[in-house]
Amino acid sequence: MRTPHALLATAVTAAALAAAAVTPAPAAGADAVPPAGTYYVQSVVTGLNAADALGTVEQHRPRGNEDRQQWTLRPDGDGHLLENTDRPGACLGRAGDRALTVSCAAAEARWQITPLGADRYALEAPGADRRLTVAPKPAGATHPAPLSVGSDAGDLAAWYLTPADAPGGPMPPRGQRTLDQVTFLTAHNAYANGVDGGFAPPFVDLFPNQSRGIQQQLADGVRGFMLDIHQTPDGAILCHNSCTLVRRPVALWVDLQRITDFLRAHPDEFVTVFLEDYVDPGVLRAELDRVRGLSEVLYRPDRTGVRENGWPTTGELAADGHRLLIFTDHSRDADRSAGLTRDSFGVMYQREWTVENHWSMGPGVGSSDWSCHSRWYDANTTIPLTRTEPGFRPLFVMNHFRDAAVASTATTDNAKLADRARRFCQPAARKKPTYLAVDRYDLGNPAAAVDALNTYTYP
């Protein structure tokens, strides 16, 4: 169920975002308890936040400074308290095996915070082998919402203490920025523009996600392109939901040729394509084979040690000439059963290289849901937005659009993009968005949010 967020909420200006993001704050040592301040208590396993739910403490989808998810950390004797910022005097505590909010004066409110390494912590009841923990996941379900207190449960008892407003660092000069430090303007359903060709059946095509063709999008600074491909006798074709009754649809290779030609003419630019992919791997490979010059610009992170050494700088990518990254949302396991994996011809499996928040903020009109939680968290999959690996930080795809593209709504939503990125999604992922994906990028000036995020680095 969506929790409404008022459309009239005040937007943070790009200047205010940049100023707030680079404000320095005390840094905790690798083996130290973080300094006093306001934090989210965030599960390492699920990426969800501890929230005060009418006296019980539950893990909820991250909602910034809403939903009673922020806690003020402060020393108390030989332990620490976590006081809810929305309910002064109420602290994260316990009663038996249940996590509750209790009076901050109660002994049950005090926690011993123990560093576990990699910026993770255990919250222990003083003098007892009992820790705040996420309940195990039942078969066919996600982890239960209520948090508990019990004996050590491994990573289920590991928590991030994520600053509500993390300090940022200065942005390196152009060319020295690593790919995960940069933010790119991204067009959701970039092909659904009504300029380059048909994209949906009659009546559905009255609500294009974009209003300008791919070449104009490139000229306007769009550097991420979300494309839906469906299999027809003509190959991999760009359509929304189905190509049935779509007039003059565009083939994938046509738009990839436009992007490849742009990159060859602009050797310092980098572009990413995200495929919502409904075609067989052989059909996709044949489609890519039609694109002239693609092999010269295609970037292969799987062949350049990214997982071991981190992302390269944009200068390194430009020097190598490899400046087009293509992702698929398709399953590697399904491709293995088909006998041909897409990364064998240069299309990366997105879940292996990125994290992504849920794709919708709600219906095309009315209230919106600003919670920022993983698209890939369900009974069968747990890929939290917070996922990192030693030496490797996944790229963060931040979706900021509705079920349907309504121009007036997109204008309002896009004007608030910087605010949601900083207050909601950045702390939810513990990383800065790499891609800001929007409908109608020509409305509400989302490029200003991109510019603001490109003034600082996230820790």
Is residue 218 pLDDT above 90, yes or no?
A: yes
9 pLDDT band (50/70/90 cuts)? very low
Q: How confident is the model at residue 19 (pLDDT cuts 50, 70, 90)?
A: very low
| 1/119: higher pLDDT | 119
Q: pLDDT category, 91, cuts 50, 70, 90?
A: very high
pLDDT tens column, 383-401: 999 999 999 999 999 999 9
**Quick one: pLDDT at residue 285?**
98
Q: What percent of the chain is predicted at pLDDT more than 90? A: 89
Amino acid 42: pLDDT: 98
pLDDT tens-digit readout, 325-384: 999 999 999 999 889 999 999 999 999 999 999 999 999 999 999 999 999 999 999 999
Average confidence (pLDDT) over 208-224 = 98
Asked if residue 439 has pLDDT above 80, the reply is yes
What is the predicted pLDDT for the residue at 216? 98
Rounded Cα distance between 70 and 73, Å, is: 10
Task: Give residue-wise pLDDT tens across range 133-168.
Answer: 999 999 999 999 999 999 977 999 999 999 999 889
Query: pLDDT value at position 31?
Result: 63
Which pLDDT score is estimated for 5? 38
**Mean pLDDT lowest for which of 27-31, 51-55, 107-111, 431-435?**
27-31
Q: Which two tokens stand for residue 349?
A: 């499996």
**pLDDT surpasses 60 at 424:** yes
pLDDT over 70, % of the chain: 93
Q: Taking the model in full, what pTM does it have?
A: 0.93
Most confident of 3-12, 166-175, 447-456: 447-456
- 3-state SS string over the chain? CCCCECCCCCCCCHHHHHHHHCCCCCCCCCCCCCCCEEEEEEECCCCCEEEEECCEEEEECCCCCCCCCEEEEEEECCEEEEEECCCCCEEEEEECCEEEEEECCCHHHCEEEEEEECCEEEEECCCCCCEEECCCCCCCCCCCCECEEECCCHHHHCEEEEECCCCCEECCCCCCCEHHHCCEEEECCCCCCCCCCECCCCCHHHCCCCCCCHHHHHHCCCCEEEEEEEEECCEEEECCCCCCCCCCEEEHHHHHHHHHHHHHHCCCCCEEEEEEEECCHHHHHHHHHCCCCHHHHECCHHHCCHHHHCCCEHHHHHHHCCCEEEEECCCHHHHHHHCCCHHHHCCEEHHHHEEEECCCCCCCCCCECCCCCECCECCCCECCCCCCECCECCEEEEEECCCCCCHHHHHHHHHCHHHHHHHHHHHHHCCCCCEEEECCCCCCCHHHHHHHHCCEECC
Query: Using one digit for the tens of pLDDT, what is the confidence trace for 44-78?
Result: 999 999 999 999 999 999 999 999 999 999 999 99
pLDDT at 6 over 60: no
pLDDT at 87 over 70: yes
Interstrand relation of 112-117 and 120-124 (parallel, antiparallel or unpaired) = antiparallel
User: Mean pLDDT of all residues in the chain?
Assistant: 93
Residue 25, pLDDT above cutoff 90: no
